[in-house]
Chain A
Amino acid sequence: MRIKSLLVGLGLLVGFGMAGVSTAQAEEPFKVGFVYVGPIGDLGWSYEHDRGRLAMQKYFGDKVKTTFVQNVSEGADAERVITQLAKAGNKVIFTTSFGFMNPTVKVAKRFPNVIFEHATGYKRSKNIGTYALRTYEGRYVSGVAAGLMTKTNTIGYIGAFPIPEVIRDIDATYMGAKSVNPNIKLKIVWANTWYDPGKETDAANALMDQGADVLIQHTDSPAPLIAAQKRGVRAIGQASDMSKFAPKAQIFSVRDHWAPYYIKTVQQVMDGTWKSQDFWGGFHEDMLQLASINPNLPKSVRAKIDETYLAIKTGKLKPFEGPIKDNTGKIVVPAGHTLTDKELAKVHWYVDGITDKVPN
């Protein structure tokens, strides 16, 4: 019996040894790889990147073959996974989390004929481009909605990490709220995580205990919305449409919409017109969307949301147009100047009126 099972085992080993040799490759479609930091079921950041991938795949049909790897740790594993995607013949590789930056740079040096696109980073080279969202546009509208909906004049803000993207989103939120409600106050709690439902719930409760009755979050789980709904206050969803987790509480969700960028970039690489750049997309490029605006909002609030959205989309309203003072009284954006993308990437101050200090 034992010998028999041994023989079966050996047979199988030989069998799949051969199978590997004989995987011949037919004429290949254009291959595109994606690296995700989370599971595609996180219903937030990685989920939306994967929806972008699927939309791009659908757009190109048989001409493109996409591959993705989920749950890739931002440590030593990232470089291996990116290398293996490059070795597998992918012509464009999207690395969709900040922590993949240095691994992407290392691999890109060894594969000069592969195009790498790194989300939210700042290192570029001949074959590395970077892309990001103008999330501050969504924040400004969120601020306007929150400023109108609050009864306690207090907005609660759950920060992820004190990096420029998060800091300038806090500024944009406050400026939006202030534009419709001069008495607005903004309370900030740092969760020091991108995704941790437990910690996010704690942060939400801490903010509500301080009187906040509209919550805005830069973290990716729906936990704060659920906490808000439990206590009968309002909240705004992040990254994906979170309305089903808190149908009463949700004002709207600011949804990341990567599909247009993925389609455009893959097309450029196919055509040979791709060039390394730092691309930022917002309402105008349809890379940010207001999803599931709640029908239970007062008509006037809804109108103001639509109006602000349109003004930003058409470029009539620019959230970081001067003059802007920081909360120490220093002029950080002079009159007549609008912050450029390079300057936006370095914002490390709170706008006048936020009674808090930027950590560190």
Chain B
Amino acid sequence: MLDIATAYNKYKFLGNDFLTWIWFLIETDQTISSLLNTKDAVTLEVGNSIVLENKLGDKSKEKITIKGDQAGLEEGTTALKKGAWVTQINLICKINEDEYKFTIKGESFNITSLKTPKIELSKKKDEIEGLVLEKAFSCFKIFEVIDTLFLKYLEKRTVDDWNNKGLQDVKNWIESF
């Protein structure tokens, strides 16, 4: 295994490329459940924020942040056309009846502002253990979705026809704006 700090910097693009692909999946109405190979009904939506970055000619970067519950994503799609990629996205994930909201950062896969389905809080000592475990399982579900989708994405990217099929589909989507 590579040195952790070196690997973090060298391969952070994988996370950003993945988030861009996630946005593509959402906008082109692809079935997340079948990608995850699960019987659960899993859907993803873009939540209330998305951050994109674009490298400019020199060493400087352009950062585009879109925030707000009903915000239009036109600036984001324009940035994609200019060569930007998603570095952070707020997602709404529905797994059957349960709704999860969270923000994921591409380079670190850190999860922030994670809201899990509501659980009845109890102060009784013997119920705390059950409550903790239930909360923990809720968090794990999101990581399972992310990890499975990420590895699925890498599987697709490392096959021979990626350039003709997968990449071309994303390019066509970007060109459609």
A and B are interacting partners: no
